[in-house]
Structure 1
Amino acid sequence: MTLPSDDDDRTVIRPVGASSAPTPAAPPAPAPAPQDGGSNLPIGTYLGEFELTGVLGEGGFGIVYLAWDHSLERRVALKEYMPSSLAMRVGATQVQVKSQRHQDTFAAGMKSFINEAKLLAQFDHPSLVKVYRFWEANGTAYMVMPFYEGITLKDWLRNHGSAPDETWLMTLLAPLTEALAVIHRENCFHRDIAPDNVILLAGSERPLLLDFGAARRVIGDMTQALTVILKPGYAPVEQYAESPDLKQGPWTDVYALAASIYYAITGSTPPPSVSRIVTDGYKPIAQTHAGQYSESFLTAIDKALGVLPDQRTPSIDAFRADLGLGEAGSFGAGVTLMPSAPAPSRASPASAPAPAPAKRGMGLWVGAGVAGLAVLGAVGYLALGRSPAPAPAPSAAASAAPIDPVATPAPPPPVAVASAPETTPAATPVATPPAPAAQASLSIASEFDRVLRESHADIQVSASAPKTTLKIDRDDLVFGLRSSQNGFATVLALGPDNSLIRLLPDSLHRSIPVVAGKPLRLPPDRIPIGDPPGPTRLLVIVTPEQRDFSTWGGREEGGYLSLPTDAGTLQRVVQEAGTVSPLVGRARNCSTPDCARYGAAEIRLDIVR
């Protein structure tokens, strides 16, 4: 069973170095005359406010176009449901089923296509594809997404030549497992994870899970075309023939993700799962690659590749725990589940934050003999937009239940979200921005959210940590960032006691320069983890110029700037900052509108004993 080469209903990614498309700042060039041949719409066709400017890819189940959004003046990817084996183009835009006997299959595939759009529109995670809007027209359906540029993980591995090291793989796994944890909490499963279904975005190499190919699976199910559905080596046995003893669930995605990492390490896939049922020829990589990676890392991959579900790592959170990443349930970076009905963007805190104590109970920094070597106390958050309580265990149902849409199927007004070749992690909301919060709801946590929400699309920032669960007195704080533009980094930390610290710049490093496209490992000096335990928020901001925080009236402690968080100070600095959050700081020696530009990303950690 092999996957057909033209099976491409996924979001198509323009490879880095491919022919250029119109820049986001300018409208597209005049469209060439329409050409016959093929089922794609002619270049220059308008679908609502979207003008088609190119074809990014055409597969057996859909066509992805490059389009220009004339309303918001941005490039987008527009995906059309068009199963070429079942339907044909009639006239300029209409899609018609070829034969009445295909009608039910076509309709089921389109329903699945729409449900997938609804599903993706409800999630906002930097490693999940965003859906701006979707609608039905012309006998078919469409969805509009950001235009992503990058390279598939499969192509990256092929070009790289040698196997990536453990740090690189852990940096890849951290956001991917967080994204899967988000959809699993809603009892939804990807079921199509493979190296060619993960892309690394240009400039940052941030991983992105492509859309789920739901229409492809439904049509394959109805036509009994397993070759369309499954990828040998990545598909676990329960996907071949589900039975009461072989249900699909979170463990199904665990297997496929682990198989993708196995491929990255070995250059080949694990033996097909169906053959392993008869004679299991799988050789544990904890044996074949001992010494090249840590034993715990290799053992976690082997466990996740158990051939039967009851022999396998049961959930993404369990997989993260085995990898040392910690549970993603309440502190996955940049995760938002968009509401299915109008609702406040986040709950107001029960009360205003208490003034920061003069002496922090955690003894935030303990002198270590040299300036700048300090113990970072856990710094967590006060109020998030959703409850951090663990979600109910997902059902073992073979497919996700339909989820109410966040928008009506008819074309809604365009969402005012800037788009660029790469989207800013956790900073591009799908929902309409809420009205300004009342002063009573002000908190440092809400300002963290505001910074991420108002991040500028032209400064793409990604940040991640190889480990998000850190042990007191045992682990050090280590993370990395990338930016699409040159600038300077600021890193703020918010603690469980509502303490706010500017970690970087510090007394030894008065500026943290960032070079566009170049990974930056931080911090420059060792920061061991100290008391107290609790959830952590790190806010990473990149600005074209250095920022000043003097209006906060903070004080230096142990080489770091401690900022007051009492309600009075917060209200004052918010009012003084005007249209931007005071957490961004003030530009030094800058009076142009560009002074307010910044990119931001967030890392959430859990500090434990």
Structure 2
Amino acid sequence: MSKVKPAPLPPDTTIGGYRIIRKVAAGGFGLVYLALDSEGQQVAVKEYLPSSLATRAPGELLPQVQSEKLSLYRLGLKSFFEEGRSLAQISHPSVVSVLNFFRENETVYMVMNYLEGAALQDFIVTARDQKKSKVFRESTIRSLFDEILRGLRIVHQHKMLHLDIKPANIFITDDNRSVLIDFGAAREVLSKEGNFIRPMYTPGFAAPEMYRRDASMGPWTDIYAIGACIYACMQGYPPNEAPQRLEKDRITTSLARLRGVYSDNLIEVVEWCMSLDPLSRPQSVFALQKELSREGERRYTKLTVTEKVRMQFDSMVSETKKTVMGGATAPAAGKPK
């Protein structure tokens, strides 16, 4: 039986001077509401309420936390509060604006600008479903990530890491701004300290070091995720998750299929960002920006016939393996008709 998720705050609840209108999003880590401030302006209010540690009954304000989970709950709470404090000091069009943060109802709330638009993830799915050779034009990818990297550079200058960059956390506003949302520092603290069955990071976008408790993280960790996001914009799908890549890495082969569609430079940038060894990646956002802005070197190398045949063969072998494995497990999936 699946665990019951904490109930959202009821509409018209007032917290910290903000009136809740409705819940707009919920994740494993908390809830986001549309609310109105004292002047009637729309704001987004994010509530710390990790479903793995806390519950809340419908109509209630206070979360219920079991005594054995309390220390972990408070650890995440502290990290969430510190994240709000740090983000409130950052003012950049490509980073979500934190207007206020406060403690109430034995939890913490972060008040942000309410953004209208859609996540990059939605655009990728829509573009992919149109089945064109390019999911996004190269010029679109470069300008989009130029904006995001400007914001990320400021974040890193404030000694912060995002730690959960993915297409669902890059928001494209109705006035065509790209904004980084939903930072993951508190999530990272809990995933390192807690013994959770399900990881709190996003497979495909999380760097290999995020899977190890003893690994050091830095700007290169966010840069891996940026590379994975560009990959998703090119392919229409996320890359294989890091543990799979450590066993058998297919990134180079997958990107080679895009030769002639995207420039050699862009393909090389993605490979560089997604190096499994953190030291082999760009060590700063500035180094990546410099490389991504080299538009004058856009060579397009087309695949030779031999390479195309070899890739087709590899693809057929891979599909055959999937079919054989799928066939082996099929009887357990359900009753035959």
The alignment's TM-score, normalised by the length of structure 1, stands at: 0.45
Q: Distance in 2 between matches of 1:96 and 1:269?
A: 35
Q: Structure 2 vs 1, CA of residues 277 and 74 (structure 1 numbering), >3 Å: closer, same or farther? A: same
Partner residue in 1 for 2:309? none
Partner residue in 2 for 1:127? 94
Residue 195 of structure 1 deviates from its aligned partner by 1.0
Q: Distance in 1 between matches of 2:51 and 2:6?
A: 10
Residue 108 of structure 1 deviates from its aligned partner by 0.7
1:295 to 264, 269, 273: 264
Query: CA-to-partner distance for each residue in 1:417-466, whole Å, 9 max, x for gaps?
Result: xxxxxxxxxxxxxxxxxxxxxxxxxxxxxxxxxxxxxxxxxxxxxxxxxx
How do 1:106-117 residues align onto structure 2 when only pairs under 5 Å count? 106-117=73-84
Partner residue in 1 for 2:12? 44
Residue 85 of structure 1 deviates from its aligned partner by 3.5
Are residues 1:267 and 2:236 paired?
A: yes
CA contact under 8 A between 1:194 and 1:256: conserved in structure 2? yes
CA contact under 8 A between 2:15 and 2:104: conserved in structure 1? no
Paired AA for residue 277 in structure 2: L
Partner residue in 1 for 2:221? 252
2:112 to 136, 145, 159: 145
Residue 91 of structure 1 deviates from its aligned partner by 9.6
Q: Structure 2 vs 1, CA of residues 279 and 140 (structure 1 numbering), >3 Å: closer, same or farther? A: same
CA contact under 8 A between 1:97 and 1:103: conserved in structure 2? no
Identity of aligned residues (%): 33
Q: Distance in 2 between matches of 1:134 and 1:257?
A: 28
Are residues 1:54 and 2:29 paired?
A: no
Please state which structure has a larger fraction of its residues in strand.
1
2:35 to 67, 70, 76: 67
Query: CA-to-partner distance for each residue in 1:21-78, whole Å, 9 max, x for gaps?
Result: xxxxxxxxxxxxxxxx9622221111232111111123332121111112x2201111
Please state which structure has a larger fraction of its residues in helix.
2
Paired AA for residue 48 in structure 1: G
2:158 to 186, 189, 212: 186
Q: Structure 2 vs 1, CA of residues 60 and 236 (structure 1 numbering), >3 Å: closer, same or farther? A: closer
Extract structure 1 runs of 4+ deviating beyond 6 A.
none
Partner residue in 2 for 1:210? 181
Partner residue in 2 for 1:173? 145
Paired AA for residue 234 in structure 1: F
Partner residue in 1 for 2:200? 229
Partner residue in 2 for 1:335? none
Paired AA for residue 195 in structure 2: Q
Q: Which runs of 5+ in 2 are unaligned?
A: 297-337
Q: Distance in 1 between matches of 2:57 and 2:231?
A: 46
Q: Distance in 2 between matches of 1:227 and 1:255?
A: 21
Are residues 1:199 and 2:171 paired?
A: yes
Partner residue in 1 for 2:136? 164
Q: Distance in 1 between matches of 2:40 and 2:157?
A: 35
Residue 315 of structure 1 deviates from its aligned partner by 1.8
How do 1:449-488 residues align onto structure 2 when only pairs under 5 Å count? none
Higher normalized contact order (CA 8 Å, seq sep 6+, divided by chain length): 1
Residue 283 of structure 1 deviates from its aligned partner by 1.9
Larger Rg: 1 or 2? 1
* Structure 2 SS opposite 1:233: coil
CA contact under 8 A between 2:6 and 2:57: conserved in structure 1? no
Q: Distance in 1 between matches of 2:237 and 2:53?
A: 34
1:281 to 246, 250, 256: 250
Residue 96 of structure 1 deviates from its aligned partner by 4.0
* Structure 1 SS opposite 2:47: strand
Q: Structure 2 vs 1, CA of residues 285 and 165 (structure 1 numbering), >3 Å: closer, same or farther? A: farther
Partner residue in 2 for 1:98? 65
Query: CA-to-partner distance for each residue in 1:323-354, whole Å, 9 max, x for gaps?
Result: 126xxxxxxxxxxxxxxxxxxxxxxxxxxxxx
Query: CA-to-partner distance for each residue in 1:88-139, whole Å, 9 max, x for gaps?
Result: 4479654244321111011111111111111110101111111111111221
CA contact under 8 A between 1:94 and 1:139: conserved in structure 2? no
The alignment's TM-score, normalised by the length of structure 2, stands at: 0.79
Residue 249 of structure 1 deviates from its aligned partner by 1.1
Residue 284 of structure 1 deviates from its aligned partner by 5.1
Partner residue in 2 for 1:317? 286
Q: Distance in 2 between matches of 1:47 and 1:317?
A: 40
Q: Which runs of 5+ in 1 are unaligned?
A: 7-36, 326-466, 471-609
* Structure 2 SS opposite 1:144: strand
Q: Structure 2 vs 1, CA of residues 272 and 60 (structure 1 numbering), >3 Å: closer, same or farther? A: closer
Paired AA for residue 225 in structure 1: F
CA contact under 8 A between 2:9 and 2:61: conserved in structure 1? no
> What's the RMSD between the two structures over aligned residues?
2.5
Number of residue equivalences: 289
Q: Distance in 2 between matches of 1:85 and 1:241?
A: 21
